[in-house]
Structure 1
Amino acid sequence: MFYIASKFLSFFIMPMGILCLLLIYAIITKNRTKSKKATISAFIFLYIICNPFLNNELFLWWEVPPTSIINVKPHDIGIVLTGGVINEDKLPIENIFLGGSADRMGQAIELYKKGKIRKILISGGAIEILGKTQKLEIEEMAKYMIISGVAKEDIILEKYAQNTRENAINCSKILKKYFPNQSYLLITSGFHLPRASKCFKKVGLKVDCFGADYISHERNFNWYNLILPREGNFGSANLLFREVIGYNTYKVMGWI
């Protein structure tokens, strides 16, 4: 219930929610001047978040910069966080369909094959929504990793975490009990690393970071990139809003 309630509440402070509120206000208000201002504000807000250059600058500011795989020192355990890595709802079930965050898994496989990590700990459980539990994403990830050349005995599964804080707590328990005093490399999306790395630090687990699934790219000063909005940037802006909200919520709760 908390999960569902949080989704509804967060909607109204996300880009789509802000736009809806502005346009609803513009429609229902009887004051033509206020209606006009709300409509103009909605279009300005939409243009700003869909502007490729500004959108990219926001991600360059927020994401942890990528690390060259050549410069990564060998680690005993690579910790990969789930979340959009596998498209769990697509049929047929015997197929493994990769999701939008699959680069997390791809980077982990490459690190493993290049000897940068010896074992891979995948963390993330299914979330029960309205009494229905989704298929476990980590099991599909493990299957894909094995197909891709990772030895089965080198994969460790943590099946119960339902958020980043629980990722850190549960992984910490496993690593401190079974793999103490070893080196750990945290692998997740570049925009997720600021929150994730601090969660692991909070539970007393020292990790190095390796970013994946980057939204940002090198600066592009072409005129169309500076001026013309792109609809795809609306989705990425929504992603950044959610992560910044999550980061600050965790900070208020004392989890980072």
Structure 2
Amino acid sequence: MSQIGELLAPSNAIAMLGFLGLIVMVATPWRRVGLALAGGGICGILAAGLLPLGNWAIFPLEQRFPAFVDDGRPITGIIVLSGALELTRSAARRQFAVNGAAERLFAFMDLARRYPAARLVYSGGNSRIGSRLPPEAWTATEYLKTIGLPGDRLTIEPRSHNTWENARETRNLVRPSPGERWLLVTSAWHMPRAMGSFEQVGFRVIPYPVDFQTNGTRDLEQPFTVVGQGLERLDLAAREWLGLIGYRLSGRTGALFPGPGAEPKPSEAKLVIAN
């Protein structure tokens, strides 16, 4: 998550509301106002952390694209988007460290085995521009080679810093031809923004969603048992919804909530590709 995204996270916003209330209580004569703000912050943290608000927010994202069904037709290539590695910890401990999105890597390796003739592309540099850490694509592919993935099948795209650049740089790298079938592997909650970005640059891909956070509709009714889990889920969903809004306003997607069958307008696609 970027620095701006971290500041806008609901958990931070609610906590800062409570902290502001404490300051008002101590440093101003408006003790009742401060008490109300502090109480609102405490109640807000409990409500956001225990009620299934995070599941309500992330469920529509995860359900937007259906699971991939193999119809027997050949697959030209498989693209996996970065985001599964903890680059700082990997560098500090000199070990391959993954985060909660590790299913992207597992799916990538499984698909590579199932489609031995498909091209393999790992797309992703470092999300923090200016960081001295190596691109995620470099770190990940070195590990994938050590566990048996053939190095001659792997193509890396290490220049991108975000989802939009994933789409643009990958398209420029592989130069897809009409009629080719490429699978796009990323987290289910991230798939709408990823698909919208690839479609907007004129690269038609097939979604392969993984890393689901919810178990289905039953999670919309069940509260969390740990406050931190609920807050983390809500922060993740909020970041993605804000990302969708930002991408639509900046022209990086052709729809606010990209879905199956959505296509960019020819004029928009040409404009974006020219950039």
Report the equivalent of 1:231: 228
Paired residues of 2:124 and 2:160 also in contact (CA < 8 A): yes
Task: Give the 3 Å change call, closer, same or farther, for CA 92–43 of structure 1 in structure 2.
Answer: closer
Report the equivalent of 1:141: 140
The structural deviation recorded for 1:153 is: 1.4
Paired residues of 1:104 and 1:187 also in contact (CA < 8 A): yes
Tell me the TM-score normalized by structure 1.
Answer: 0.83
Paired residues of 1:88 and 1:137 also in contact (CA < 8 A): no
Q: Which moved more, 1:161-170 or 1:117-126?
A: 117-126
Paired residues of 2:48 and 2:230 also in contact (CA < 8 A): yes
The structural deviation recorded for 1:174 is: 1.5
CA distance in 1: counterparts of 2:207 and 2:232, whole angstroms: 25
| 2:216 is the counterpart of 1:253 | no
Report the equivalent of 2:270: none
Paired residues of 2:18 and 2:42 also in contact (CA < 8 A): no
Report the equivalent of 1:108: 108
Tell me the TM-score normalized by structure 2.
Answer: 0.78
| 2:21 is the counterpart of 1:26 | yes
Paired residues of 1:47 and 1:229 also in contact (CA < 8 A): no
Q: Percent identity over the alignment?
A: 21
Secondary structure in structure 2 of the residue aligned to 1:192? helix
Secondary structure in structure 1 of the residue aligned to 2:21? helix
The structural deviation recorded for 1:254 is: 0.9
The structural deviation recorded for 1:24 is: 2.9
The structural deviation recorded for 1:108 is: 1.0
Q: 1:216 aligns with which of 195, 214, 217?
A: 214
Paired residues of 1:52 and 1:228 also in contact (CA < 8 A): no
| 2:49 is the counterpart of 1:43 | no
Paired residues of 2:123 and 2:170 also in contact (CA < 8 A): yes
CA distance in 2: counterparts of 1:246 and 1:81, whole angstroms: 16
The structural deviation recorded for 1:72 is: 8.1
Task: Give the 3 Å change call, closer, same or farther, for CA 222–168 of structure 1 in structure 2.
Answer: closer
Report the equivalent of 1:53: 52
The alignment covers a number of residue pairs equal to 246
- Deviations 1:152-191 (Å, cap 9, x if unpaired)? 1111111100111111111111222xx4232111111111
CA RMSD for the aligned pairs?
A: 2.8
Report the equivalent of 2:168: 169
Paired residues of 1:12 and 1:18 also in contact (CA < 8 A): yes
CA distance in 2: counterparts of 1:222 and 1:76, whole angstroms: 38
Structure 1: runs of 5 or more not aligned: none
Q: Which moved more, 1:73-82 or 1:165-174?
A: 73-82
Report the equivalent of 1:77: 77
Paired residues of 2:75 and 2:183 also in contact (CA < 8 A): yes
In structure 2, what residue type is equivalent to 1:252? L
Paired residues of 1:53 and 1:220 also in contact (CA < 8 A): no
Paired residues of 1:75 and 1:116 also in contact (CA < 8 A): no
Report the equivalent of 1:151: 150
Secondary structure in structure 1 of the residue aligned to 2:60? helix
